[in-house]
Amino acid sequence: MDPAVLDLFDADLCRTFIEREILALDNYALTGDVTGPDTQSIGDRVFEAYTAPTSFVFQGQSFESPASFAFVDDEVRWFTNCR
C-alpha cells in the first residue's frame, strides 16, 4: 500500500479493511488491459498510476472494479480507499 493512503486514512482502519475484505476476496483476476500511467491523486498527493480492470468474488457475489497502482522506488504500490 502506498504511504499516501496511510497519510489519508488511519493505519488501523486500513489494516482492518484489508483483513476483513481484501483477504476475503476469491477468484481475483485481471479482466482487460492495464492502462496508464495517468495522473491520479489521493489526498493532496498527485502521482502517475496505472489502472487494471479486475473481477473478484466477495462473500459469494461477483464484482468488477478497477485497481490502481504505481511503481515507486522499484516497488509496486497499491492505492485504495480504506473503509
Q: For residues 45 and 76, what is the distance between their CA atoms, to the nearest angstrom?
A: 17
Delimit the domains of the chain by residue range. 3-74
Q: Which tens digits make up the pLDDT trace of 70-83?
A: 988 889 999 888 99
Amino acid 63: pLDDT: 97
Amino acid 4: pLDDT: 84
- Expressed in percent and rounded to 5, the helix, strand and coil fractions of the chain are 25, 55, 25
Specify the higher pLDDT residue, 62 or 81. Answer: 62
Q: Which tens digits make up the pLDDT trace of 1-48?
A: 888 888 899 999 999 999 999 999 999 999 999 999 999 888 788 889
Q: What is the pTM of this model?
A: 0.80
- List, in sequence order, the alpha helices (H) in 3-82: 3-8, 11-20
Is the per-residue pLDDT at 65 higher than 80? yes
